[in-house]
Structure 1
């Protein structure tokens, strides 16, 4: 299993579908923005071969060379997005989902560049909202609902480091990719005490911008409201903030360190677990952390790459299609034969050598674990026990 995101270059091209005129190009190398651009002749050739196929009613979606993966995708017969990646282990699934997220983020270069770089989040790949579990979620939920109503909007959320802590029912009903893009955008912006930011919702309102109001309650923890022309930002005065948030100041403080950890302090995880990804495929939410046993190898960046690559592998090859994905299971007989668990051993099988990854699906939940010490025969039991413990949280 190759690890996605290791040293390599990613080029993203956006062209007019009919004329082939380049609209913008973005690049990254080793997870950081890069100035390197493809020659115009290469851009023209990549678009030309795609258009040639379309003229023959052949859909060219992806191609591989010895060291590069290329994916094409057209949207609304208006624009064509092309991505080329020379990163080791890059999969078509990851690049296809990258293009879907980029199309939803067309109004923000900052957001697009964040998808090309290394991120602590995983919603760009899973298309589920990155979440954290606060220790006193019911108190925060009550305060958020009351504040949003007082401000005159049904759409509100608390976001820490790009992850949703709590949200109103209307916010959770936002479709994909809006629900993923909005907190990701907030996490990608430089810190500010308050913002009044215009946003286009790819499905909900692609032509008319809404306003995303953000207020920093504590460093790294932001209150977000999605609204129309009203209320003005000045209406959200300190007295209104104090009325709703001063009584829950301690629960708010407990949320600040939750960003990379995702789980409440003291949550019982087995000592062999080095990272986990829990998805609720119907709610389109996920918990992702590589913080357990942080003093052990591998590094957090390496753990994220391992889990991202394993997610891509099991999603593309082993488990049934996720709700809303274009892939379809053909019949009931095929559905009954899909696996519910799988594992992968990277390196020697002796405990303490190499890495072990296990995936388990139960109903709408899918759990991926990274371990270094557990013997292979114990992986499914470890995953089953962990999923049982995490189920009340998501």
Structure 2
């Protein structure tokens, strides 16, 4: 684990603060993951929020010249506070981060335990089970995926999704469950109907959690479903089918991991060649048969109805343009562009953006930015939203046409399920 958090100390510039409040009848805990903030500052953040609450007001956010602070209460049990640089994005994205932090703690710790903290020191020790997942959610600058901002699980498209779906359905049925998915390179390739019926938050957190776990042949992990079952735990069973490929099942007390080991071999041995072909789409994450414009450096495609997100910043493989715009920089640009557009110009299922910007009398369908080293274009065509990063060489007038053609290329083949 990279960091260790204390009640008055944190890392990464974003925070989650904890302390008892004698002024409330209920245990009002505040947790903080702040970057070397002195205790008086932490106390002030607590105090100003409590002062507002005691006078019938809700303090949601504030900004300084270079920073933003957002407060969020959960079940009158925990208050989460996030502090970050002011990127001019809508507050909905920081609220979504705090919602994910809370849900992550529910998933690995249980809602009852979070709402009934009787011993603060013990809670500080026990909550460490969540730190790895919380680290990942907070360290947005190093993330290679987009699910934490889009609230849609990262997927990849394989050459034969249909065959993989049949193998998965048969295995999950043999496991006595209806909830299962197959991940390739840390992204969901196929999943059962019941798995897709989980809430967007549950899909995202499971999609983030599984690749974070220590690599091993099998796992048996107790989890809670933040929306579906926040107080009764289930079991998350994972099995490594081959390098970079895992099959995951959510079930009850049975079957045991040992019981399913032989089933893994029996059901997935015939699928080896199909799985190898699926792994070959990394790091493009789409089949080579799907041709995209040479001016595209990266894209982010979100289906707001199915909570699925397809993205890539290595569209043409090693195309020699990495020196101009590196792959990490491409991800950073796309993340920033998405956060600036959604909630400011376009709506989404993310809380606070459902109806679009209040100051607009119309619904925006397109927007773009032109910078010195790149250009970005966003297209809204419900249920899809497509965000594309282009080279600076592309004519600005051509971006709209190419973006529409790109969306059509992804959605015309119904087997892609995006």
TM-score between both structures, scaled by the size of structure 2: 0.83
Q: Aligned residue for 1:113? A: 135
1:343 to 362, 365, 368: 368
- Residue equivalent to 1:170: 194
Matched, 1:188 2:212: yes
SS at match of 2:143: coil
Q: Deviations over 1:113-148 (max 9, x none)?
A: 001122111111000111111111001100100000
Residue 352 of structure 2 is matched in structure 1 by: 326
Pair 1:43–1:21, CA change in 2 (3 A)? farther
Q: Which runs of 5+ in 1 are unaligned?
A: 1-7, 28-35, 348-353
- Is the partner of 2:16 in helix, strand or coil? strand
Deviation, structure 1 residue 332: 12
Question: In the alignment, which of 119, 131, 151 is matched to residue 155 of structure 2?
Answer: 131
> Structure 2, unaligned stretches of length 5 or more?
1-10, 109-129
8 Å CA contact 1:14, 1:81 repeated in 2: yes
Structure 1 runs of 4+ off > 6 angstroms? Answer: 330-335
CA distance in 1, matches of 2:313, 2:274: 23
Please tell me whether the aligned partners of residues 90 and 343 of structure 2 are also in contact (alpha carbons under 8 angstroms). Answer: no
Q: Are residue 371 (structure 1) and residue 374 (structure 2) matched?
A: no
1:363 and 1:386 mapped to 2: Cα distance?
Answer: 15
Range with bigger deviation, 86-95 or 168-177 = 86-95
Aligned length: 370
2:307 to 284, 288, 304: 284
Question: Is 1:61 equivalent to 2:81 in the alignment?
Answer: no
Between the aligned partners of 1:326 and 1:376, the Cα distance in structure 2 is 31
CA contact (8 A) 1:195 1:214 kept: yes
User: C-alpha separation between the residues in 2 aligned to 1:25 and 1:318?
Assistant: 32
Deviations 1:269-326 (A, max 9, x none): 111000000111111111011012443121111101111111111112111x223633
More strand by share: 1
Alpha carbons of 1:330 and 1:261: their partners in 2 closer, same or farther (altered >3 Å)?
closer
1:72 corresponds to which residue? 71
Q: Which position in structure 2 is the counterpart of 1:317?
A: 344
RMSD: 2.4
Per the alignment, do residues 375 and 330 of structure 1 end up closer, same or farther by CA in structure 2, a change over 3 Å counting?
Answer: closer
**Residues 188, 377 of structure 1: alpha-carbon distance in 2 compared, 3 angstrom cutoff:** same
Distance 1:81 1:159 in 2: 31
Deviates more, 1:89-98 or 1:218-227: 89-98
Matches within 5 A, 1:162-311: 162-238=186-262, 240-293=263-316, 294=318, 295-296=320-321, 297-311=324-338
Q: Deviations over 1:228-271 (max 9, x none)?
A: 11111111123x22321111111111222445422113420111
